[in-house]
């Protein structure tokens, strides 16, 4: 019934129409990656940033610099700016240090076998919250931790998609937390800490991959630029 007049639609009423039979080609179909260096300026300043589009995939995917061999007895530091432009539900990326060979040789999805040998920042859902920006690590033996503390006073900060420029830091101190090791992460001045578990240092292999790497977990799009420093606390290893 429209304006008091019945219409059974048993024949085409010949209404006015425009654009209602168009088709569009999906640009990003899994598997699809497009991230690395770009001459963009999302974070301000001169052109030149790292980021892009990252999709969940079984094959290794990362953009990283080789920094030599570092272990869980090494001091690690990095900082920079980030623009989290858009993200899919339950998407994620990891930002930090990892074991290059173990990453390259991994041929299974993370939901089947978790990635090992990394330390840094995990940007991940759940989608009901947004994307937590939180400290994370995993040893060679698979001991890992990346708590959100959702619903508590310790809840990790949430970064929302948009054009805002965020400032971040990550600092790993192997002597903190009674020498178990501690990761300190901050986002726009909000800092939180993650103490490594008692057995983690014994299980850790050298992190031969990179400082401030980006490697994929699930689809997301973002850009960032950073400065970094690192100090070897055990030059004999």
pLDDT digit string (tens) for 30-58? 667 788 888 888 888 888 888 888 776 66
Q: Is the pLDDT of residue 76 over 80?
A: yes
- Position 218 scores a pLDDT of 34
Question: Per residue in 100-120, pLDDT tens?
Answer: 888 888 877 777 788 888 999
Specify whether the CB–CB gap between 84 and 159 falls below 8 A.
yes
Mean pLDDT of 74-84: 89
- Position 54 scores a pLDDT of 78
Question: Cβ contacts of residue 107 below 8 Å, gap of 6+?
Answer: 58, 59, 60
State the average pLDDT for the chain.
79
CA angle 223, 229, 232 (to 5 degrees): 135
Task: List the one residue out of 85, 29, 37 whose CA is nearest residue 64.
Answer: 37
Question: Cβ contacts of residue 178 below 8 Å, gap of 6+?
Answer: none
Mean pLDDT of 161-188: 94
**Whose structure tokens read 């040789």?**
105
Q: Which CATH number fits domain 52-231: 1.20.1050, 1.10.3710, 3.10.450, 2.60.120?
A: 2.60.120
- Position 102 scores a pLDDT of 82
Domain boundaries of the chain, sorted by first residue: 52-231
- Position 209 scores a pLDDT of 47
Question: Per residue in 204-227, pLDDT tens?
Answer: 766 654 444 444 333 333 444 444
Q: Is the pLDDT of residue 174 over 90?
A: yes
Instruction: Out of 70-79, 159-168, 177-186, 224-233, give the one with best mean pLDDT.
Output: 177-186
Specify whether the CB–CB gap between 118 and 137 falls below 8 A.
yes
- Position 134 scores a pLDDT of 95
- Position 31 scores a pLDDT of 66
Say what percent of the chain tops pLDDT 70: 81
Mean pLDDT of 1-26: 82
Question: Cβ contacts of residue 3 below 8 Å, gap of 6+?
Answer: none
Query: From residue 39, how far is each of 33, 78, 119, 144 by CA, in Å?
Result: 17, 21, 28, 35
Query: From residue 156, how far is each of 81, 123, 147, 184, 188 by CA, in Å?
Result: 18, 11, 8, 12, 12
- Position 205 scores a pLDDT of 62
- Position 101 scores a pLDDT of 82
């Amino acid at each position: 019934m429209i304006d008091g007049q019945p219409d059974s639609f048993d024949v085409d009423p010949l209404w006015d129409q425009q654009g209602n039979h168009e088709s569009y080609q999906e640009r990003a179909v899994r598997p699809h990656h497009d991230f690395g260096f770009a001459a963009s300026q999302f974070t301000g300043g001169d052109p030149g940033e790292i980021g892009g589009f990252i999709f969940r995939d079984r094959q290794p995917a990362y953009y990283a610099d080789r920094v030599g061999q570092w272990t869980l007895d090494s001091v690690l530091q990095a900082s920079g700016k980030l623009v989290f432009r858009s993200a899919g539900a339950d998407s994620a990326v990891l930002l930090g240090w990892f074991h290059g060979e173990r990453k390259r040789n991994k041929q299974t999805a993370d939901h089947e076998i978790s990635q090992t040998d990394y330390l840094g920042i995990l940007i991940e859902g759940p989608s009901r919250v947004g994307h937590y920006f939180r400290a994370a690590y995993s040893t060679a033996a698979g001991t890992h931790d990346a708590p959100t503390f959702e619903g508590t006073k310790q809840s990790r900060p949430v970064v929302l998609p948009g054009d805002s420029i965020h400032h971040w830091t990550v600092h790993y101190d192997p002597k903190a937390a009674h020498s178990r090791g501690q990761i300190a992460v901050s986002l726009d001045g909000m800092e939180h800490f993650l103490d490594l578990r008692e057995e983690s240092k014994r299980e850790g292999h050298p992190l031969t991959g990179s400082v401030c790497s980006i490697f994929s977990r699930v689809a997301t799009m973002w850009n960032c630029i950073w400065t970094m420093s690192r100090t070897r606390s055990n030059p004999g290893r």
